[in-house]
Amino acid sequence: MADKIRADKAGSVAELTKRFQESGATVLTEYRGLTVKQLTELRRSMGGAEYTVAKNTLAKIAATNAGLTGLDALFTGPTALAFVSGDVVEAAKGLRDFAKANPLLVIKGGVFEGKAISAAEVGKLADLESREVLLSKLAGAMKATMGNAAALFQAPLVKVVRTAAALQDKREKEGADA
């Protein structure tokens, strides 16, 4: 039976390691006191994230196996991991908003792009605008820049046309005066 438990633990560590490696970000939380209903709500609010409760020792080994450092201090108390595969900002906002409504959820910190981040940095991620909003702002700025460039390129042409029209008017007046 002891061998079977060790094999199960090895499988759990391998699965957690794989999730750490494949996720764009991982947020560690303490969920003590939350009901099953609240945890279900939390899972729905995070968008493209998978929320998993894990034993600290197994999660710590998995993080080390995945090449992540600086997380050891976060593996205290009951720990749940939010593995984010979609929009990191959306998941961080979901966690932050849920934590505001349910103070029993404590964001401990996490990993973003392979580097350990603090709970405050998770909050900063949540304050960012979503990817779609940032892309639309970029597209708007690019469109405005191209419009300004087009107007700038047209300006000399318009000036030449106006000058030519003025010269023609001047010649017509001179011809009429003669």
For each of the chain's 178 residues, which pLDDT tens digit applies? 344 447 778 888 889 889 988 888 889 998 888 888 988 888 888 777 888 888 998 999 989 888 888 888 888 888 889 898 887 888 888 888 888 888 888 899 888 888 888 888 888 887 776 667 767 777 877 776 776 666 667 667 667 777 877 888 888 887 776 5
pTM, entire model: 0.66
Q: How far apart are CA 84 and CA 27, in angstroms?
A: 8
The pLDDT value given to residue 149: 66
Which pLDDT does position 131 carry in this prediction? Answer: 66
Question: Rounded to whole angstroms, how far apart are CA atoms 1 and 43?
Answer: 34
pLDDT at residue 113, rounded to an integer: 83
Whole-angstrom distance, CA of residue 148 vs CA of residue 166? 26
DSSP-derived 3-state class of residue 82: strand
Q: In the chain, helix, strand, coil percent, each to 5?
A: 65, 15, 20
| CB 121, CB 74: distance < 8 Å | no
Q: Where are the domains of the chain?
A: 2-128, 130-178
CATH topology classification for 2-128: Alpha-Beta Plaits (3.30.70)
Cα–Cα distance for residue pair 51/42, rounded to 1 Å: 8
